[in-house]
Amino acid sequence: IYGTGGDLAGMFSGQVGINSVSSALTSDDLEIRNNGAGATALMLRQTTSNSTNGNVLGNIDFGDNYATTAQAQISVTRGAAGGAGDLPTDMIFSTTPDASAVLTERMRIINSGNVGIGTATPIGKLDINTNGSAVESAGLMITDGGSKVASLWDVGGVGQAGLLSMYSAGSETIRLYAY
């Protein structure tokens, strides 16, 4: 570890333990241990105040040696204009689809608590946007131990039929269309 102007940086080969005894490290690459009674915390903090909507406050990136860019990511952004005492944040979860190398947003929790899957602007507590896909997997599926209980999806594309199905013992018993 070295420091210049109060900043510290380090490059380590092998395991790193913070507040740990080297002989007591687990097999994890990074271990942060709290030797006291409170919760262990990890803080990713900007060194500037970010009050502008959309500014990235921190990312956790996942990947391997196929690429140096993130292959999956959890990102926290300023969710609306803010300032001291007004700190709205959004959490964004992204993955890379099969046959692609492009990171794609999959789910977002916005500062109101609304959750969006397939939309960056959820208007309800849970907003699932199928983007007009006509496949069964494009909606909401509720299961019980692997058996279908209920499903809801758009079967005809944007602005067309919606479908609600109910199941008993894994077999469809009710099907409602909305036109």
| Nearby residues of 97 by Cβ (< 8 Å), 6 or more positions away | 104
Q: Are 122 and 115 in contact (CB under 8 A)?
A: yes
Measured distance CA(137)–CA(105) in Å, rounded: 18
Q: Which position has the token pair 């929790």?
A: 109
* pLDDT at res. 81: 95
- Pairing of the two strands 2-4 and 30-32: unpaired
For 136, phi and psi rounded to 5 degrees?
-55, -35
- Top-confidence range, 21-35, 61-75, 136-150: 61-75
Indicate the pLDDT class of residue 51, thresholds 50, 70 and 90.
very high
Mean pLDDT of 13-35: 72
* pLDDT at res. 159: 52
pLDDT at residue 41 tops 90: no
Has this prediction a pTM greater than 0.85? Answer: no
pLDDT at residue 22 tops 70: no
Measured distance CA(56)–CA(75) in Å, rounded: 7
pLDDT at residue 34 tops 60: yes
End-to-end Cα spacing for the chain: 65
Q: Are 33 and 23 in contact (CB under 8 A)?
A: no
Measured distance CA(30)–CA(28) in Å, rounded: 5
- Work out the mean pLDDT of the chain and round it to a whole number: 80
Collect contacts of 127-131 with beta carbons under 8 A, ≥24 apart.
130/154
Segment 78-101, tens digit of pLDDT? 999 998 999 999 999 999 999 999
Q: Give the three-class secondary structure for 162.
A: strand
Indicate the pLDDT class of residue 23, thresholds 50, 70 and 90.
low
Among 61-65, 70-74, 127-131, 138-142, the range scoring the smallest mean pLDDT is 138-142
